[in-house]
Chain A
Amino acid sequence: MTSEFVSVVDIVGSIRGGKTTASDVLEQHLARIDKRETEIHAFNHIMAESARANAASIDADLKAGNDRGPLAGVPIALKDNMCTRGVPTTCSSKILEGWKPPYDATVVTRLQQAGAVIVGKTNLDEFAMGSSTENSAFGPTRNPLDTSRVPGGSSGGSAAAVAAGFPGGSSGGSAAAVAAGFAAASLGSDTGGSIRQPAALCGVVGVKPTYGMVSRQGLVAFASSLDQIGPFTHTVADAALLMEVIGGHDPLDSTSLDQPVPSLTAVLGQGVKGMRIGRLADMPDGCEPEVLARLDAAFDALKAAGATIVDIALPSLSYCLTAYYLVAPAEASSNLARYDGVRYGLRVESADLISMYGATRAAGFGAEVKRRIMLGTYALSAGYYDAYYGKALKVRRLIANDFAAAYQSCDVILTPTSPTVAFPIGEKTSDPLTMYLCDIFTIPTNLAGHAAMSVPFGTGAHSHSMPVGVQILAPALGEPTMFRVAAELERAS
């Protein structure tokens, strides 16, 4: 993997070693933002002023000999559905346009305590509902590697901001921000694939941790039993470092696991000798041949490194899309009930309270959000609960059982992250179902609560060298194994 951009680990080392300063590193990133942000639109809000003040303070502290933490001076972008005190947090929705939270999300506090310099809030599909960032109320984000294509979604801005894009290049918006080198790393959120899929489409690393490993306090909820926050980075080592900083128990999130993040950086060099890598015997339809070719190459690379390939089956895989598109909208309909114009956000003044609710929500929510609220409300309503939501929860159990059975005979599973490379803007917007099929490989992990990550592994042979991501799935708390496989694939890519 070639990249003109420096990794988080290298930035930290250079700053600590006195070779550069936090302010200089920040200016490099701000310069790239100046150059290409108009074209890419990774950000909803750029925090240049506060970032500069922060970087200066870090430099002063480091000069005085004080330690500012494991991410001191690293420019990081945040998906705009994470609360940042005093800074607009919009979820790319008109209903929260301009709203400034009075508190910080836990992950934001942890990044700040680690010395990270937050450069901005990145664009997303509205309320994280989508797979292309085309559902943003503030305009789409473009893939830095080919601006006629989507960066993926919903964390498109975060992926794009990081990706090491330059003509003909490979990996390196929250994926675009990383892909374009606007930030050295970024955070996204993943409910059905919203970190992993944009990571694959932008050619960067993206991790969805085990459910509960990273606190959701301050993450604007979409589907509470599925959401997780995770990093976008250029390298696997960077992702390991970010995970170690943001993860771990949070008493403010009662679903957060009561244990520390497992050691990840330390295991990266351990290789995959003796590991059993699961391969789906039954691949779903709709995968582009160029994507499958890269997946095969990934299996070959791991085999060459001493792992064995095992055929496994996930019989309920084809029903996961249905289960997800009943469970997630149901939870969303409950989580989004709070947007009523009373205490925060948009209000459409009306003669009475109920009219105000109806008019505010009609004006404030986009089409996809409305669709999912409707689907969720319907699925939960009296008389239909058992036919839809009730059944979906049972299918969820089935996929969890399938995984448990599969992991008897393998340590991790490898699949494509996305069935296709980044597609042209506008290609999939006419039929919602077409867009939903983007998530076919990523959804099962969210339903089961397991860990998964996407690692860039070459480019598509036909699609003008757009990056292809390979997905590594691991059982709950299987991050160490997963990262070892990721590190191996990175060495081979």
Chain B
Amino acid sequence: MSNASSAPSHATVLPNGWEMVIGLEVHVELDTKTKLFSASPNHFGDEPNTNIDPVTLGLPGALPVINRRAVELAIRLGLALNCTVQASQSSTDVRLSLQYALALRSIAPCRRARFTAKTTFTKTSRRHIKSRSTTNQSTSMGS
């Protein structure tokens, strides 16, 4: 990245005008009392299989109901990171997924116990830049 002879500085310019863009994929556990789909305690470090109910065990007949607080916190985080929160256009799509542009769909009821959340802040990329000022390609952090 930099010449071996000098210590790297924060204002380092990469050789040949390369600009480094770093993306952070961050998994944040939401601070709720109960789990996402189950009213069992969300508590790290307890004995195995002690915070269980039909939903966590996937028992026959179990039905998940989503935790309101988890949805609130997720939306709050999205807003804090200056993301767009979109209402879901239809109740047929029950998957929650955070897309590249960090649009957060509001939660339609999840009928199945499957829930995927993928977060990608920005693509890590290296660009060949010819004499132009560095622009902030990533979303602003904290506002």
CA A344 to CA B60, docked complex, whole Å: 9
Chain A residue at minimal CB-CB distance from B109: A254
Which residues of chain B from 28 to 61 have any CB-CB distance to chain A below 8 Å in the complex? 54, 57-61
Whether the Cβ atoms of B60 and A252 lie closer than 8 Å is no
Whether the Cβ atoms of B60 and A220 lie closer than 8 Å is yes
Whether B83 is near chain A, meaning CB under 8 Å from some CB there, is: no
Whether the Cβ atoms of A89 and B111 lie closer than 8 Å is no
Contact with B along A217-241 (1 / 0, CB 8 A): 1111100110000000000000000
Give which listed residue, B59, B65, B111, contacts A224 with CB less than 8 A. Answer: B111
CA A477 to CA B114, docked complex, whole Å: 30
> For residue B114, which residues in chain A have a CB less than 8 angstroms away from its CB?
334
Give which listed residue, B57, B58, B63, B112, contacts A217 with CB less than 8 A. Answer: B63
CA A217 to CA B60, docked complex, whole Å: 10
Whether the Cβ atoms of A252 and B58 lie closer than 8 Å is no
CA A225 to CA B110, docked complex, whole Å: 12
Whether A101 is near chain B, meaning CB under 8 Å from some CB there, is: yes
| New A-B pairs, 15, CB < 8 Å, besides A102-B54, A224-B112, A338-B58 | A83-B60, A96-B60, A101-B59, A101-B61, A103-B54, A103-B59, A103-B61, A217-B62, A218-B54, A220-B60, A221-B60, A221-B61, A253-B65, A343-B57, A393-B92
Whether A101 touches B112, Cβ cut-off 8 Å, given contacts A251-B65, A252-B65, is no
> For residue B62, which residues in chain A have a CB less than 8 angstroms away from its CB?
217
Whether B74 is near chain A, meaning CB under 8 Å from some CB there, is: no
Whether B79 is near chain A, meaning CB under 8 Å from some CB there, is: no
Whether the Cβ atoms of B61 and A219 lie closer than 8 Å is yes
Whether the Cβ atoms of B61 and A218 lie closer than 8 Å is yes
Question: In the assembled complex, how far is the CB of residue A187 from the closest CB belonging to chain B, in whole angstroms?
Answer: 14
Give which listed residue, A251, A253, A344, contacts B59 with CB less than 8 A. Answer: A344
Main SS of the interface on chain A?
loop
| 3 A-B pairs with least C-beta separation | A220-B60, A218-B61, A83-B61
Which residues of chain B from 109 to 128 have any CB-CB distance to chain A below 8 Å in the complex? 109, 111-112, 114
Seen from chain B, the residues whose Cβ lies within 8 Å of a Cβ on chain A are 54, 57-66, 92, 109, 111-112, 114
Query: Which of B54, B66, B114 has the most chain A CB atoms inside 10 A of its CB?
Result: B54
Whether A41 is near chain B, meaning CB under 8 Å from some CB there, is: no
Give which listed residue, A96, A102, A254, contacts B63 with CB less than 8 A. Answer: A254
> For residue B63, which residues in chain A have a CB less than 8 angstroms away from its CB?
216-217, 252-255
> For residue B111, which residues in chain A have a CB less than 8 angstroms away from its CB?
224-225, 254-255
Question: In the assembled complex, how far is the CB of residue A390 from the closest CB belonging to chain B, in whole angstroms?
Answer: 11
CA A219 to CA B64, docked complex, whole Å: 13
> For residue A217, which residues in chain B have a CB less than 8 angstroms away from its CB?
61-63
Question: In the assembled complex, how far is the CB of residue B116 from the closest CB belonging to chain A, in whole angstroms?
Answer: 14
CA A334 to CA B111, docked complex, whole Å: 11
Give which listed residue, A253, A254, A338, contacts B60 with CB less than 8 A. Answer: A338
